[in-house]
A and B are shown apart, each in its own frame.
Chain A
Amino acid sequence: MSSIIEVRDLSKTYASGTSALKGVTLDIREGEILALLGPNGAGKTTFISILCGLVTPSGGQARVGGHDIQREYREARSLIGLVPQEIALEFFETVMNTVRFSRGLYGKAPDDAHLERVLRALALWDKRDAKLRELSGGMKRRVLIAKALSHGPRILFLDEPTAGVDVNLRREMWEVVRRLKAEGVTIILTTHYLEEAEEMADRVGIIDKGRLLLVRDKADLMHEFGQKVLTVELATPLAHLPEALASLGLSLAPDGLTVSYRYDSNADRSGIARLLAAFAAEGIAVRDLSTEQSSLEDVFLRLVRDLA
């Protein structure tokens, strides 16, 4: 896949002296969903804002669709749609007028048929004549997406699209993003919800303190850093773990009824067979077994701890 966005050593130091971005290099592939994950203040919004033309970079280069974001800002920006984090709308305008305005601002000829498709896809068509201030929070957020899509961008930036959004709406939002990806739109979303990155992304980039710690295919990332936990439920409680079991790296829960074993799911030998044999040898009756894949959250916390 070719790169639609190429970022080289991009940095930003604000006038206040805050160094928000410290030399980020990244290629974003056409048609992928890239999730930029990081805690608040990690530099995610600064990164997006530079690419969209809201913030001037202090150093480095970025090209969007092959166009330098500063020298060829017209070409670069016309490929981009931005859904900002904050809900900022002209509250006395109607839905239809505000999306028409966005399209016109990008210099595109009026095309109400396209706008109708966008509004229908976002379940806003029935509300097209409603004033923005009359809409619910979830609808306002969808209006922001409709505005960003009004000029038919090839790249969509979603800055914290589901911050402060309820569960249903979050699922709805994910559905919208999936449909856009199916249409070939490249999507870059920032989030501090790991669940979101795990659910949506093809690739995950982890940003912390202005640095891009890594970018990896989500599956590889989970695989590479993924650990599994085997939980063994015992038939009768144990006061303490026999020496033979403790030496295998097991830990006993305070209730004495569950034993857990952490292992690398990619290793040649998981050690489970040896473990179960040890249980039998000690004469401990096992009632149930379960395994659990570590979540991206665990991966993330480990990475931030190890790499920062």
Chain B
Amino acid sequence: MNWRSIATIFNFEMARFWRTPWESLAAPVVSTVLYFVVFGAAIGGRIQSVEDISYGAFIVPGLIILTVLQTSLANASNAIFMRKFVGTIHEILAAPISFLEVVAGFVGAAALKSVIIAIVIYLTALFFVDLPLAHPALALVLLVLTSFGFALWGFLMGIWAKDWQQLQFIPMMVITPLVFLGGAFYSASMLPPFWEGVAKLNPVLYLVSGFRWTFFGMADVPIAASVLALAIFLGLGFLAVWAIFRTGWRLRP
């Protein structure tokens, strides 16, 4: 492993984040507050509690996952897409580094940004609701793996995308619907049985449910199923990135 090369890419990507701390951190905080106002205060007033947890607290894990998915995808895909777009990708491809090192640098930085934002959202939420955290260590592990997994898929998206439209396509058309239908704002058990079955085909439900379990000890699906789903998701992403570097698809003609 060429740690110095990894650190170089990683630090370069993180520098972008720290250079504009306001944009990097304020935006997720503002949107979290908005969610609290709209869902917590307006709608939450009518729902009150889900399985003995106040609605305001109930939505926090889903809210964090929602933001983590979006920022991981966006950060990783932008980082590699911009290099393709500007042409500076040649420098990465000509360097004496392996695909593992490139991925570790780019995806690691994108994932860390998401983890930082997730923690900021969590801290913001503490101002609004009583929020237990039953399994903090596991919560952190799931958070890191989810961030990493989606950063990996974001990286793939950035390699796949040939233009800006394509870059926006997957987050808009696939991820946002999956997240909204993935039980971020409700429990799958609140759905009619048929739709509950459909919801359980949604991989994001497993992430949200698993993450919620680490807070409240309750979930739509067993925690083991969540961890398994996450492992499969990560594994597939990793295989896909490996295959891309192996074949040079859209990187090395």
Least CB distance from A307 to B in Å reads 28
Nearest neighbor of A110 in chain B, beta-carbon distance: B4
A89 at the binding interface (Cβ < 8 Å): yes
B248 touches A56 (CB 8 A): yes
Least CB distance from A146 to B in Å reads 13
Give the residues in chain B near A73, CB-CB below 8 Å: 96
Select A101's contact among B12, B86, B87, B96, beta carbons within 8 Å: B12
Nearest neighbor of B247 in chain A, beta-carbon distance: A56
Give the residues in chain A near B2, CB-CB below 8 Å: 74, 107
The docked-state distance in angstroms from the alpha carbon of A104 to that of B4 is: 6
A90 touches B88 (CB 8 A): yes
B88 touches A108 (CB 8 A): no
A80 touches B94 (CB 8 A): yes
Contact indicator per residue, chain A 98-137, by CB within 8 Å of chain B (1) or not (0): 0001101111110000000000000000000000000000
> Given known contacts A15-B253, A105-B9, is B94 in contact with A52 (CB within 8 Å)?
yes
A107 touches B88 (CB 8 A): no
B90 at the binding interface (Cβ < 8 Å): yes
A77 touches B96 (CB 8 A): yes
Contact indicator per residue, chain A 74-91, by CB within 8 Å of chain B (1) or not (0): 111110101010101111
The docked-state distance in angstroms from the alpha carbon of A52 to that of B87 is: 15
A104 touches B7 (CB 8 A): yes
The docked-state distance in angstroms from the alpha carbon of A263 to that of B57 is: 95
Give the residues in chain A near B201, CB-CB below 8 Å: none
A53 touches B94 (CB 8 A): yes
> Given known contacts A89-B88, A101-B8, is B94 in contact with A74 (CB within 8 Å)?
no
- Chain B residues 1-58 with CB under 8 Å of chain A are 2, 4-5, 7-9, 11-12
Nearest neighbor of B8 in chain A, beta-carbon distance: A104
Give the residues in chain B near A244, CB-CB below 8 Å: none
The docked-state distance in angstroms from the alpha carbon of A101 to that of B9 is: 8
> Given known contacts A73-B96, A77-B94, A90-B86, is B4 in contact with A108 (CB within 8 Å)?
yes
Contact indicator per residue, chain B 61-76, by CB within 8 Å of chain A (1) or not (0): 0000000000000000
The docked-state distance in angstroms from the alpha carbon of A102 to that of B91 is: 8
Select A53's contact among B4, B9, B93, B253, beta carbons within 8 Å: B93
Give the residues in chain A near B7, CB-CB below 8 Å: 104
B interface SS class: helix
Least CB distance from B19 to A in Å reads 9
B90 touches A78 (CB 8 A): no
Give the residues in chain A near B87, CB-CB below 8 Å: 84, 86, 88
Give the residues in chain A near B98, CB-CB below 8 Å: 74
A56 touches B96 (CB 8 A): no
The docked-state distance in angstroms from the alpha carbon of A91 to that of B82 is: 12
Least CB distance from B60 to A in Å reads 35
Least CB distance from A38 to B in Å reads 20
Select B91's contact among A55, A56, A78, A105, beta carbons within 8 Å: A105
Give the residues in chain B near A86, CB-CB below 8 Å: 87
Least CB distance from B170 to A in Å reads 24
The docked-state distance in angstroms from the alpha carbon of A82 to that of B92 is: 11
The docked-state distance in angstroms from the alpha carbon of A170 to that of B90 is: 24
- Chain B residues 204-240 with CB under 8 Å of chain A are none
The docked-state distance in angstroms from the alpha carbon of A15 to that of B95 is: 24
- Chain A residues 165-194 with CB under 8 Å of chain B are none
Residues of B near any A CB (own CB < 8 A): 2, 4-5, 7-9, 11-12, 86-88, 90-98, 248, 252-253
7 closest Cβ pairs, A-B complex:
A88-B87, A104-B8, A77-B96, A74-B96, A78-B96, A105-B95, A107-B2
Given contacts A74-B97, A77-B95, A91-B86, 7 further A-B contacts (CB under 8 A): A80-B94, A88-B86, A88-B87, A88-B90, A104-B8, A107-B2, A107-B96
